[in-house]
Structure 1
Amino acid sequence: MEKVLLFICTASALCVVSSLPARQYHFVYDPKNWTEAQSYCRDMFTDLATIDNMEDVETLNNMADLDSYKYRAWIGLYNNVSSWSWSMSDSGFYKDNETQLRNWAYNQPDNFQGRECCVVMVANGEWSDVPCSLPFPSVCADVKGQEVTFTYVTEEMTFPEAQSYCRANHTDLACIRNMAENQKIHKLIPAGQSTWIGLFRDCWKWVDGSNSSFTYWNTDEPGGADQYCAAAYFAASGKWADWTCEWKRASICYSAPVLKQVVRVKLKRSSFLDLDDAAVQEDLLKQLKQKLKNQGVKTSIKLSWRTQNDGKIFHNDKEQDKF
């Protein structure tokens, strides 16, 4: 299909719909478990609520009317307890199923108080989940092809600090593919010492994929090993608490407001394409969308043609003069 040169002018012919970054919140007072609430929000709106800042918190506090449900409502924050992965993500380093090796100590991982998202090797060579903010020595790895050597680092650091140190001075934190490597690392560690290895998981995250780092936990929250879903607690100014996901709660959904704009598009064509052909119109929309992206439009954009009063979409310049 031949391309048509496009020029965007003001007036009316093309309908442009772009999503704004702001959110509109919606309280749903019919009690649901977290999974049911998520499905309902995605069906009726955009998703369970993401909360970015104190302005959002104040908005929700002013909207809440939750006397019947003990002031609690699900939000889109959850603890991804099954997302264990290794710090070194290069798939070429691992053979089949080697990323799945686990050597947990008895009753581990237990996600104690809902805050344990990183892993140490304990005194007997087994593994335990602990809070990432605790200070421990670490074991770094130097990788050359399939060969790996391990280095014990005595300085106590948090998990993010240890990970950064190993990546700056070696290859990465130690990622263990088999029990032979586990034994090599165990021999490096002083008796009775717990030490960082490179296993960790996503802790609390937003279900819509938002990377917002804002938190507003209530005192001593999160605090439950089996409480993987978060609710806003409006008896405490909307602060968050973790709860068992199967409990029935009210919920908060959000939707993104939509801005509609109408602009006129002037086309200069190099051949006699049939502009009434649906395939030609679809190709033009693709070109226009790419032009808008190239001009720095970053929001989600939906384009559609607007039919004029005479039932047509396009008119040549001479026809247009008659309107």
Structure 2
Amino acid sequence: MHGFMMMMTALFFGLDLSSCSQCPARHYHYVNLPMNWTDAQQYCRDKYTDLATIESMDDISRLKADFPYSYAWIGLRDDPKSWKTSMGNDTNSWRWSTTGETSKTGFQMWDSGQPDYRLRKETCGVMYTAGVWFDMDCSQIRYFICYNVTKQNKKNYVYISQGETWKSAQEYCRKHYTDLAMIENEEENAEAFRTKPSGAAPWIGLYRVPWTWSDKSKSSFTNWDPNDYYADNQHCVLENNLHQRHDNPCSYKWPFICHQVSRMTSTFKITTETDADLTDPAIYSQVLQQMNDLLTRQGLTDFKLRWKSPPKKTEKKD
């Protein structure tokens, strides 16, 4: 075994500031050229980094743009193609509680006109009459359906006649069964439907997290105008001069705000003891991959890692 010191250089371009306290700050640019949301996004990507991501009060403190028209597009959108016309595989698509992942089969049983995200509140799923699905406000008190998996890898559904919010129902199912009902095909949907009484509309395991930024990252900082009126064709977001948010049809033309993230370079020194030859490209490629996976799990995005070995010390001759 021998000690070996190596240096790794990381080039960071666009980090998730919500998970990194010492990342490069975003710099904002107000563009007084009215465009629809999609054209504004392309303009920002061509000239800067992207349409503005605003995820903290610190971001807002750097946003010193003049708002001559009171409103401007930012990078927040809830693309209906990801959740309204299919089960989708995007950040804001419907997911199953037991996996936290989008549907593997794409099976869905939404009723006509559903889901509709009414009043910007309905982000949890229920099973209604004839086995069709509706989206509902997760804070409602409802009965629910749990499930277990048998030894034959078949789902066994159990109806619970105990009123709970979606979150409390999830906790109950995880404690006593596997989870809230996960339904991935027509046979499973029929089986779950048979457990519930006629007219009941119990929770199932469907949920989603609406609104994502232009780069597809999740939105964790919200500041909606309490007087904003929601309509079902308003899927893009404006920021007003009070830094409150309004949803608006994406086809409308407004000025917009871009952000720029400067490149940041960091060097890590790592000392390790190993018999492996760390000058071997195959070995350090594996180490780089492991470091890449670690940083990704920490929520960092859009970075590059480079390997740099220090020069070997030469022994002094007497």
Q: In the aligned structure 1, how far is the partner of 2:112 from the partner of 2:246?
A: 28
Report what 2:255 is aligned to.
250
Structure-2 change in CA distance of 1:254 and 1:161 (3 Å)? farther
C-alpha deviation, 1:157, in angstroms: 2.6
Q: CA deviation at 1:153?
A: 1.9
Selected match of 1:163 from 170, 176, 179: 170
Instruction: Tell me the equivalent position of 2:88.
Output: none
Corresponding residue number in structure 1 for 2:97: 87
| In 2, Cα distance between equivalents of 1:16 and 1:49 | 24
Cα separation, partners in 2 of 1:149 and 1:66, compared to 1, 3 Å: same
Normalised by the length of structure 2, the TM-score is: 0.70
Residue in 2 aligned with 1:177? 184
Say yes or no: does 1:202 pair with 2:205. no
1:109 partnered with 2:103: no
For 2:141 and 2:133, locate their aligned partners in 1 and report how far apart those are by CA, in whole Å.
16
1:183-226: CA deviation from partner (whole Å, max 9, x where unpaired): 33233223332111122333122233444521100014471212
Gaps of 5+ in 2: 14-22, 84-92, 269-278
1:304 Cα deviation after fit: 10
What's the TM-score, normalizing by structure 1? 0.69
Give the secondary-structure state (helix, strand or coil) at the position aligned to 2:131: coil
- Asked if residue 64 in structure 1 is aligned to residue 69 in structure 2, the reply is no
- Give the stretch that moved more between structures: 71-80 or 171-180: 171-180
Q: Secondary structure at the match of 1:28?
A: strand
Equivalent pair of 1:116/1:131 in contact (CA under 8 Å): yes
Give yes or no for the alignment of 1:34 onto 2:37.
yes
CA-CA distance at 1:156 after TM superposition = 2.5
Tell me, yes or no, if the aligned pair for 1:114 and 1:228 is still in contact at 8 Å.
no
How far residue 232 of structure 1 moved from its aligned partner, in angstroms, is 0.5
Counterpart residue type for residue 107 of structure 2: L
Partner of 1:147: 154
- Select 2:58's aligned residue among 55, 59, 77: 55
18 and 177 in structure 1: CA distance in 2 versus 1, 3 angstrom threshold: closer
1:216 has 2:223 as partner = yes
> Contact (CA 8 Å) 2:288, 2:305: kept in 1 or not?
no
Is residue 31 of structure 2 the alignment partner of residue 24 of structure 1? Answer: no
Q: How many angstroms apart in 1 are the aligned matches of 2:59 and 2:71?
A: 16
**How far apart are 1:241 and its partner, in Å?**
0.8
- 1:243 shift after superposition: 0.8
Q: Distance in 1 between matches of 2:189 and 2:10?
A: 57
Does the aligned pair in 2 maintain the 1:80–1:201 contact within 8 Å? no
| One-letter amino acid matched to 1:59 | R
3-state SS of paired residue (1:204): coil
> For the Cα contact (< 8 Å) 1:115–1:203, is it kept in 2?
no
The structural deviation recorded for 1:180 is: 3.6
Q: Is the 8 A contact 2:38 2:250 kept in 1?
A: yes
Contact kept, 8 Å, 1:98 with 1:178, in 2: the verdict is no
Equivalenced residue count is 275
Contact 2:29/2:65 (CA < 8 Å) preserved in 1? no
Query: 1:117 and 1:137, CA in 2 relative to 1: closer, same or farther beyond 3 A?
Result: same
Deviation of 1:172 (Å): 1.9
**97-106 vs 46-55, greater mean Cα deviation:** 97-106
Work out the CA distance in 1 between the residues paired with 2:46 and 2:227: 34
- Quick one: distance in 1 between partners of 2:154 and 2:6? 58
Once structures 1 and 2 are overlaid, which stretch shifts more, 241-250 or 17-26? Answer: 17-26
C-alpha separation in 1, matches of 2:141 and 2:127: 13
C-alpha displacement of 1:227: 0.9
Per the TM alignment, residue 150 of structure 1 is displaced from its structure 2 partner at its CA by: 0.8
Mapped contact 1:114–1:226 kept (Cα < 8 A) = no
Q: Which position in structure 2 is the counterpart of 1:241?
A: 246
CA RMSD of aligned residues (A): 4.1
